Amino acid sequence: MEPGTSARQQERTAPERRVPGKVTGAAVLGTVLEWYDFAVYAAMASVIGRLFFPSDDPTVSLLVTLGSYAVGFVCRPLGAIVLGRLGDRAGRRSMLALTMVIVGASSALIGLLPTYDSVGVLAPALLVALRMVQGLAVGAEWTGGATFLIEYARTGRRGLYSGIVQASTVTGFLLGTGVATAIVRGVPEQTVDAWGWRVPFLVGGVVAAIGLFVRLKLDESPAYRELHEPARSPSPGADDAWRTTARRNWLLVLGTVFGVTLYGYTATSFPAFLTGIDALPLADALTTNVVALLIEVPLIIAAGAWSDRVGRKKPMMGAMALFALSTYPVFMLVTNGTIAGALIGQVVFVVLFAMVSGPMAAMFVELFPTRVRSTAFSSSYNIGVAVFGGTAPFVNTFLATSTGVDVAPAFYLIFGALVSLAFLSRLRDHHDQELR
């Protein structure tokens, strides 16, 4: 050991504490695929509504389609608990390989489904069933990838990797929305209905096969290996960690996720909202969303890295406060019927969401001890997403259509921002401490 260098300092600078490129790639690839599939489904909501949930009223078809979108989130808490537990017991790598198989297979099968005109009610039933299966895997995919990657990173760099893994969710949305936009703009509507809508889902299945190959070649994270060294076996009283500290943090994460996930899923489902409520052409709605997402990706990474310097809470609370102040004006912009208004409003949303989402994964991972981290993080986050995030596109559309006021969803989101602020204020910031 060099003079003046502590064992802890040497450990931090050792080559094995650097995050290998293949680890980063494997962690984010599954998250990209996960949100790619959800983006494609949201972007193609009006098409899927016509093919699987036909109705004389297009708004009814859209609402039912968005309801089936939300169904995929119903199974997320169950998947988070079961697969999160697997991540704590069998290892992060095994869990991530399994989620990749389920997400990819579900995506490919959706692309092969017959439509309502071919098999009647069996078509929407199969679609909903596959969305539920997919939801099981999604319940542990993003949180599992985030846990795996952040456990590799050293103190002082976890925020950066938090931003990278969170940016991969937006990258997935961007790719899904981009592919859907290219198809909608590139081929006639009858061709989209005939087979064009299937292409993005089939591509997802191919990407999953590549991701599985990569993930099977990974080693376990350093934190997980360290926990299971013989000299570090859990003591008989180790469960006290869950009962005392982790349970409190579990509830605080759940409350924080309320407003955060409302804004995240509202921002990424704007194409369906604008098409169904504002009568903006689907191609225009998708284009504005793609531009906004392109702006968001680098901002998320920058916000995550910034949180390594200033802490996680400051940028997250600042963003949620600005959300509460700006949401109503943003909805006035996006519902004014113009492309410019839709674009400006979405850009404001994604800039603020980058500030809160960049540090988010690191903050939540740092709250829980390694022994229960996968289960605690996955379950608390995904229950919040299932209840509030997955239903956001449906609730927003329902509020606007049932009240006749296009900006009605703004009040729901403002309430969510205030709730998240209240819970965020109670969380402790561990950005400058070693993982427990």
Query: Residue 190: exposed, middle, or buried by beta-carbon count in 10 A (0-12, 13-18, 19+)?
Result: exposed
- What is d(CA 326, CA 328) in angstroms, rounded to the nearest whole number? 6
Query: Residue 230: exposed, middle, or buried by beta-carbon count in 10 A (0-12, 13-18, 19+)?
Result: exposed
Give every CB contact of residue 246 below 8 A, 6+ residues apart in sequence: 367, 368, 369, 372, 376
The parent domain of residue 311 ranges over 22-223+242-424
Q: ∠ at Cα 297 (362, 410), nearest 5°? A: 85
Give every CB contact of residue 101 below 8 A, 6+ residues apart in sequence: 137, 208, 212
Q: What is the pLDDT of residue 360?
A: 95
Q: What is the C-alpha radius of gyration for the chain, rounded to an integer number of angstroms?
A: 21
- What is d(CA 95, CA 88) in angstroms, rounded to the nearest whole number? 9
Q: What is the pLDDT of residue 10?
A: 42
Q: What is the pLDDT of residue 303?
A: 96
Q: Helix 373-384 and helix 247-268: axis angle, to 10°? A: 50
Q: What is the pLDDT of residue 355?
A: 95
Contact indicator for 374, 94 with CB cutoff of 8 Å:
no
Q: Is the backbone of residue 246 left (phi > 0), alpha (psi -120 to 50) or beta?
A: alpha
The CA dihedral of 264, 268, 274, 277, to the nearest 10 degrees, is -50
The CATH number of whichever domain residue 301 belongs to comes to 1.20.1250.20
Q: What are the tokens at 301?
A: 């990474």
Collapsed DSSP state (helix, strand, coil) of residue 55: coil
Query: Residue 182: exposed, middle, or buried by beta-carbon count in 10 A (0-12, 13-18, 19+)?
Result: middle
Q: Do the domain assignments include residue 213?
A: yes
Q: Do the domain assignments include residue 14?
A: no
Q: Do the domain assignments include residue 341?
A: yes
Indicate the residue type of 398: F
Q: What is the pLDDT of residue 4?
A: 40
Q: Do the domain assignments include residue 114?
A: yes
- Residue 45: name the closest of 67, 66, 74 by CA: 66
Tally of domains in the chain: 1
Q: Do the domain assignments include residue 405?
A: yes
Contact indicator for 344, 333 with CB cutoff of 8 Å:
yes
DSSP assignment of 330-353: HHHHHTSS-HHHHHHHHHHHHHHH
Q: What are the tokens at 318?
A: 């600042």
What's the Cα-to-Cα distance from 36 to each of 60, 166, 270, rounded to whole Å? 25, 13, 15
Q: What is the pLDDT of residue 9?
A: 45
In the block, which residue shows the tokens 């494609």? Answer: 40
- What is d(CA 81, CA 99) in angstroms, rounded to the nearest whole number? 13
What's the Cα-to-Cα distance from 71 to each of 65, 67, 119, 125, 326, rounded to whole Å? 10, 6, 21, 12, 30
Give every CB contact of residue 338 below 8 A, 6+ residues apart in sequence: none
Give every CB contact of residue 161 below 8 A, 6+ residues apart in sequence: 19, 24, 149, 150, 152, 153, 304, 362
- What is d(CA 334, CA 340) in angstroms, rounded to the nearest whole number? 8
- Residue 169: name the closest of 350, 23, 14, 330 by CA: 350
Chunked mean pLDDT (size 10), the chain, 436 residues: 40 55 85 83 79 74 68 82 89 89 90 90 87 86 90 92 92 84 84 89 88 84 78 53 76 93 82 72 81 91 96 95 94 85 90 94 93 90 86 83 87 94 93 85
Give every CB contact of residue 9 below 8 A, 6+ residues apart in sequence: none
Q: Do the domain assignments include residue 145?
A: yes
Q: Do the domain assignments include residue 8?
A: no
Q: What is the pLDDT of residue 240?
A: 58
Contact indicator for 202, 111 with CB cutoff of 8 Å:
yes
Extract the runs of DSSP E, i.e. beta strands, from 181-273.
none
Q: Do the domain assignments include residue 435?
A: no
Q: What are the tokens at 196?
A: 């064009």
pTM, full prediction: 0.81
Q: What is the pLDDT of residue 22?
A: 83
